[in-house]
């Protein structure tokens, strides 16, 4: 069982307990993947502070960008400047990731969605929200749409409908063993980390060139403690086992765009795409050159698809 969004429900936006700390986000101006000039905030939620990035016009339609497991808001830096001239772009480090809080519990997609909803409430986001989720972030995006947040459109990037389409690597299986996984994650050598993250991209893609900071992947990996590592994985498995994403999208009845890389090494792209295409009204786009993270591998194409989809009914 799961909750569906009630379109007629309204709720007051909380106005107390809000703590905001403005930070400076610096990126080399010459970098092709540098984010545009924008602010970052630390916003208090019930689960602790969440690191939030904001770009674009304040009163424009809103894009909420939710990264995948083991990454951070920096995984959106390649497409943010391509969207921020037209949309208000909000990205954030999900709980347990980046500079956001690392609680001891609360890593189910619905827990992440609750924190995201508090962030959007406290930023005063309006009624025109398109939520974009990459990998695990897609689970959170759908959970957000199932709640009371006024989500008008959902974009799923590189996430299979359930674990029957997952392609587990050997490292993934080892890291999930409680004692062994904790030991392996304490001090993993950089080459091992980069090798593990290579599955997030098509073969031959240059990880170091994907970010303004060539070591961004190492920073993102170190930020995820074992508790978050294990419980995020268990939470997303439970979420899709209870009801797969293609079924959730069918019942949710919100306009949905699915973007998949044909060379995805995390999910069986062929089966995943076939299942999403079977859902009435869902638009599915396959990018031939991309792997699991097309927003970094083919940012121009992904930004164009999102902009067209988010602005289609205006």
β-pair partners for 261: 287
Does residue 247 lie in a domain region? Answer: yes
SS3 165: helix
Does residue 104 lie in a domain region? Answer: yes
Domain that holds residue 80: 20-310
> Rounded CA gap, 226 and 228, in Å?
5
- The pLDDT value recorded for residue 25 is 32
What is the number of residues in the chain?
Answer: 314
Domains: count for the chain: 1
Does residue 179 lie in a domain region? Answer: yes
pLDDT tens profile 62-115: 999 999 999 999 999 999 999 999 999 999 999 999 999 999 999 999 999 999
Q: Starting at the earlier edge strand, list the strands of the sheet with 62-66.
A: 20-24, 39-45, 48-55, 88-92, 62-66, 129-134, 151-157, 256-261, 283-287
CATH code where residue 33 lies: 3.40.50.1820
SS3 131: strand
- The pLDDT value recorded for residue 309 is 98
What's the average model confidence in pLDDT over 285-300? 99
Instruction: Tell me the CA end-to-end span of the chain in Å, nearest whole number.
Output: 34
Least confident interval from 126-130, 152-156, 306-310: 126-130
Does residue 10 lie in a domain region? Answer: no
163: left (phi over 0), alpha (psi -120 to 50) or beta: alpha
Does residue 8 lie in a domain region? Answer: no
Does residue 133 lie in a domain region? Answer: yes
Do residues 221 and 197 touch, judged by C-beta distance below 8 A?
Answer: yes
Q: Is 206 exposed, middle or buried (0-12, 13-18, 19+ CB in 10 A)?
A: exposed
Do residues 204 and 214 touch, judged by C-beta distance below 8 A?
Answer: no
With bands split at pLDDT 50, 70 and 90, how would you rate the model's confidence at 126?
confident
Q: Which of 68, 69, 98, 50 is nearest to 295 (CA)?
A: 68
Does residue 2 lie in a domain region? Answer: no
Residue 164 phi/psi, 5° resolution? -70, -15
Predicted TM-score (pTM) of the model is: 0.85
Does residue 15 lie in a domain region? Answer: no
Do residues 143 and 110 touch, judged by C-beta distance below 8 A?
Answer: yes
> Rounded CA gap, 139 and 131, in Å?
11
Q: What percent of the chain has pLDDT over 90?
A: 75
């Amino acid at each position: 069982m799961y909750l569906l969004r009630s379109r007629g429900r309204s709720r007051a936006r909380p106005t107390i307990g809000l703590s905001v700390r403005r930070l400076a986000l610096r990126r080399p101006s010459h970098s092709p993947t540098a984010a545009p000039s924008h602010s970052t905030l630390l916003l208090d939620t019930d689960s602790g502070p969440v690191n939030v990035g904001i770009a674009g016009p304040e009163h424009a339609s809103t894009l909420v960008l939710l990264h995948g497991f083991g990454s951070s808001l920096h995984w959106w830096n390649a497409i943010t400047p391509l969207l921020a001239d037209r949309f208000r772009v909000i990205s954030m480090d999900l709980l347990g990731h980046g500079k956001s809080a690392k609680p001891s519990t609360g890593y189910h997609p619905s827990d992440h969605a609750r924190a995201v909803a508090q962030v959007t409430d406290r930023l005063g986001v309006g009624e025109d929200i398109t939520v974009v989720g990459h990998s695990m972030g897609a689970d959170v995006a759908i959970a957000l749409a199932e709640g009371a947040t006024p989500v008008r459109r959902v974009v799923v990037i590189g996430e299979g409908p359930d674990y029957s389409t997952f392609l587990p690597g050997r490292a993934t299986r080892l890291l999930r063993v409680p004692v062994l996984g904790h030991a392996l994650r304490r001090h993993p050598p950089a080459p091992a980390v980069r090798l593990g993250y290579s599955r997030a991209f098509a073969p031959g893609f240059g990880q170091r060139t994907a970010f303004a900071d060539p070591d961004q992947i190492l920073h993102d990996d170190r930020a995820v403690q074992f508790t978050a590592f294990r419980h995020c994985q268990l939470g997303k498995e439970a979420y899709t086992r209870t009801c797969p994403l293609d079924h959730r999208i069918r019942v949710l009845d919100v306009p949905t765009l699915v973007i998949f890389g044909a060379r995805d090494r995390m999910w069986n792209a062929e089966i995943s795409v076939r299942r999403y295409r079977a859902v009435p009204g869902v638009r599915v786009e396959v990018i031939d050159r991309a792997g699991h993270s097309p927003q970094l591998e083919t940012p121009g194409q992904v930004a164009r698809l999102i902009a067209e989809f988010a602005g289609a009914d205006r």
